[in-house]
A and B are shown apart, each in its own frame.
Chain A
Amino acid sequence: MSMQKLRQQVPLHLMLVPGILVLLVFCYYPMAGIVIAFQKFIPIKGLFGSDWIGFGNFRYVLKMPDIWQVLYNTVFIASMKIVLGMIVPIIIAILLNELKVMFIKRGVQTLIYLPHFMSWVILGGILVDVLSPSEGIVNQLMQAFGLDTVFFLGSNNWFPSVLIVSDVWKEFGFSTIVFLAAITGINPALYEAAIVDGANHMRQMWHVTLPGMVPIIVLMATLSLGNVLNAGFDQVFNLYSPSVYQSGDILDTLIYRIGLLDAQFGVATAIGLFKSVVSFVLIALSYFLAYRLVNYRIF
């Protein structure tokens, strides 16, 4: 490579410097900080100055009475969100594609994308109010139909369902975007051929639209694999209370309470490290699968 060509590249390297610095300090340095998991960490002594205790923190975690329940909650809540968070948008995208009156279609799209942009503080505040057993509108409606009052956010039977349904409610609209794009990309000639073969609308949906969406469905399904331990910290944190820890406590909320409220930094980091490693394997696997199955590349 000639000197002149290298000199031309200098601005490109310079442009990357600020981004790299930020990632270095706030993403890569914390990765090194994972050593806390193997220490009896005392903040004043710094990241590498505390006493090393090997796998002591991990042994402690395994003896915690609730840890398996928390792990189960995490995987259960996350998996249900992944599965329903795929199926609902696929169905809605197919139904949306059938709308021919444009201003209604656009209106529906505008409204169903909206909750995605609200934080769980706002939506949590709304849910707490709407689901309240004493004053909430949902229980008022249930009473009008002669049903018993339910304390949705205080009952271990109901809490996971509330998490799953409200998360699907928040995200399904936004998730339809990619599926709708896939439907738009289907070759119209396929529909014409189906019509010539005598296929009615139902059959066209089943034999043309759905198969046309398969690559994007496979892609989204594999990419969601990395979220199996992400049950949604923001949502759970803003909706749960001690009475539903049994059914709603997840790894991330446990890490927060042990680490930042009880200041057991080593133990919390050990749980965090477990989560990071498992997620890393799953994400790497999912990208590999997505590359193999549908030739997907991130960039």
Chain B
Amino acid sequence: MKGRTAMLHQASFARKAFIVGNYLFLISLSLLCLLPLVQVLSISFSSSSAASAGLVQLLPVDFTFSSYAYIMQKKEFIASFLVTLQRFGLGFLISMSLAVLSAYPLSKEQKDLKGRSVYAWFFVFTILFSGGLIPTYMVVSQTGLVDTIWALVIPGAVSVFNVILLLNFFRGLPKEVEESAFMDGAGHWTVLCRMILPMSMPVLATVALFTMVFHWNSWFDGLIYMNFPQNYPLSTYLQLMVINSNPMKTDPNHLSGILEISERTTRSAQIFLGALPILIVYPFLQRFFVKGIVLGSVKG
């Protein structure tokens, strides 16, 4: 009897230790995801001398806006930001429309859409096989899109992944509503715009988040389809400034030096500005995307 209570006591002690340890572990893990970003932010707000002397840890040292002031008066930065705004606006509208327009018909049954499975395979095959980098590059060059904003918007406009997410969600919606609408003489456009879309907010928010992130983050297409730096979107410009011309990457003994505005603080400020829009939209859309992904991947 005594042994048993001792065991129970021990078990509950182990359980408590596990719970406390688990909280500590997961909280530190989540800090590990945030801290690198915090450090970059701190370096960007620190003075050049503090940054190059390696004095900045989690908080800025000698707080200053000078790096940001310096970036804001760089013409190339502003120009590439404008390219990104264009790309973002056009790309978002086109990608979202194409995803919805493709997903709605594909969510129908074979009997309601002649050739549905052929269409579906036409879309899915592009996930299975691709022409690869060089042929794709050649095709985009031939279409004459190079050095126009359309080279960043059109080639990747259909994300089959997003289409599948949407169509699986559409299929899970109750059929009765749209059937009665069809009885009343409504067409597919009306049903799509007035009924399906308003019921699909979680998955639309998810797809919207993915599309925004895609257009904000894409840098490689800018690098290969734009021949002139003034056509680079911001992400491509950052790739050149922060990565390609970063001496820290190749030279182990590189020290930033104590110029008035060091390359290290400037780079950090640019990295942070590059991450900022995502940090801003993310919390608003986060509550949707978990639901959207789970619902979208559930099979009807």
Mark B245-273 against chain A: 1 for CB-CB distance below 8 A, else 0: 01011101111100000001001101100
How far does the Cβ of A131 sit from chain B's closest Cβ, in whole Å?
A: 9
Q: Does A181 contact B (CB under 8 A)?
A: yes
* Contacting residue for A31 out of B101, B108, B135, B274, CB 8 A: B135
Q: Does A118 contact B (CB under 8 A)?
A: yes
Q: Is the CB of B299 within 8 A of A15?
A: no
Q: Which of A210-257 contact B (CB under 8 A)?
A: 233-234, 237-239, 241-243, 252, 255-256
A residues near B229, Cβ cutoff 8 Å:
none
* Contacting residue for B217 out of A6, A34, A121, A255, CB 8 A: A121
Q: For chain B, give the interface size range.
A: 35 or more
Using known A-B contacts A33-B135, A117-B282, A121-B217, determine if residue A135 contacts B243 with beta carbons closer than 8 Å. no
Mark B128-146 against chain A: 1 for CB-CB distance below 8 A, else 0: 1111111111111111000
B residues near A132, Cβ cutoff 8 Å:
248, 254
Q: Is the CB of B248 within 8 A of A129?
A: yes
How far does the Cβ of B140 sit from chain A's closest Cβ, in whole Å?
A: 7
B residues near A297, Cβ cutoff 8 Å:
299
* Contacting residue for B132 out of A11, A151, A276, A284, CB 8 A: A276
Q: Is the CB of B250 within 8 A of A276?
A: no
Q: Is the CB of B286 within 8 A of A130?
A: no
Q: Which of A48-107 contact B (CB under 8 A)?
A: 92, 95-96, 98-99, 101, 104, 107
Q: Does A119 contact B (CB under 8 A)?
A: yes
Q: Is the CB of B250 within 8 A of A133?
A: no
A residues near B207, Cβ cutoff 8 Å:
none
B19-27, B63-71, B78-86 - interface stretch: B19-27
Q: Does A189 contact B (CB under 8 A)?
A: no
Q: Is the CB of A135 within 8 A of B128?
A: no
Q: Is the CB of B188 within 8 A of A12?
A: yes
CB-based nearest A residue for B282? A117
* Contacting residue for B140 out of A26, A136, A137, CB 8 A: A26
B residues near A177, Cβ cutoff 8 Å:
290, 293-294
Q: Does A160 contact B (CB under 8 A)?
A: no
Q: Is the CB of B132 within 8 A of A140?
A: no
Using known A-B contacts A95-B26, A256-B133, A284-B128, determine if residue A1 contacts B114 with beta carbons closer than 8 Å. yes
How far does the Cβ of A227 sit from chain B's closest Cβ, in whole Å?
A: 12
Q: Does A128 contact B (CB under 8 A)?
A: yes
Q: Is the CB of A259 within 8 A of B133?
A: yes
CB-based nearest A residue for B115? A13
Q: Is the CB of A125 within 8 A of B238?
A: yes
How far does the Cβ of B275 sit from chain A's closest Cβ, in whole Å?
A: 5
Q: Is the CB of B271 within 8 A of A125?
A: yes
CB-based nearest B residue for A19? B102
Q: Is the CB of A104 within 8 A of B98?
A: no
How far does the Cβ of A75 sit from chain B's closest Cβ, in whole Å?
A: 18
Q: Is the CB of B137 within 8 A of A260?
A: yes
Q: For chain A, give the interface size range.
A: 35 or more
Q: Is the CB of B242 within 8 A of A121?
A: yes
CB-based nearest B residue for A153? B249
A residues near B279, Cβ cutoff 8 Å:
114
CB-based nearest A residue for B129? A280
CB-based nearest A residue for B271? A125
How far does the Cβ of A251 sit from chain B's closest Cβ, in whole Å?
A: 10
B residues near A99, Cβ cutoff 8 Å:
22-23, 26
* Contacting residue for B154 out of A26, A112, A127, A268, CB 8 A: A26
A residues near B278, Cβ cutoff 8 Å:
117-118
Q: Does A3 contact B (CB under 8 A)?
A: no
Q: Does B61 contact A (CB under 8 A)?
A: no
Q: Does A193 contact B (CB under 8 A)?
A: no
Q: Does A293 contact B (CB under 8 A)?
A: no
Using known A-B contacts A11-B187, A15-B101, determine if residue A126 contacts B112 with beta carbons closer than 8 Å. no
Q: How far is the CA of A129 from the CA of B41 in the complex (A)?
A: 12
A residues near B168, Cβ cutoff 8 Å:
299
Q: Is the CB of B124 within 8 A of A104?
A: no
Q: Is the CB of A36 within 8 A of B39?
A: no
Using known A-B contacts A20-B122, A135-B52, A297-B299, determine if residue A126 contacts B133 with beta carbons closer than 8 Å. no
Using known A-B contacts A169-B33, A201-B18, determine if residue A134 contacts B254 with beta carbons closer than 8 Å. yes
Q: Does A113 contact B (CB under 8 A)?
A: yes
Q: Does B6 contact A (CB under 8 A)?
A: no
Q: Does B29 contact A (CB under 8 A)?
A: yes
Q: Does B119 contact A (CB under 8 A)?
A: yes
Q: Does A289 contact B (CB under 8 A)?
A: no
Q: Is the CB of A98 within 8 A of B19?
A: yes
Q: How far is the CA of A16 from the CA of B114 in the complex (A)?
A: 12
Using known A-B contacts A36-B138, A234-B220, A272-B132, determine if residue A130 contacts B39 with beta carbons closer than 8 Å. yes
Mark B28-40 against chain A: 1 for CB-CB distance below 8 A, else 0: 0111111011011
Q: Does B205 contact A (CB under 8 A)?
A: no
Q: Does A275 contact B (CB under 8 A)?
A: yes
Q: Does B13 contact A (CB under 8 A)?
A: no
B residues near A95, Cβ cutoff 8 Å:
22, 25-26
Q: Does B239 contact A (CB under 8 A)?
A: yes
Q: Does B219 contact A (CB under 8 A)?
A: yes
Q: Is the CB of B250 within 8 A of A11?
A: no
Q: Does B11 contact A (CB under 8 A)?
A: yes
Q: Is the CB of A33 within 8 A of B133?
A: no
Name 11 interchain pairs, CB-CB below 8 A, sorted by A: A22-B154, A26-B140, A96-B26, A104-B23, A121-B219, A125-B267, A135-B256, A154-B252, A255-B133, A259-B134, A260-B134
The 3 closest A-B CB pairs, nearest first, are A30-B131, A33-B135, A272-B132
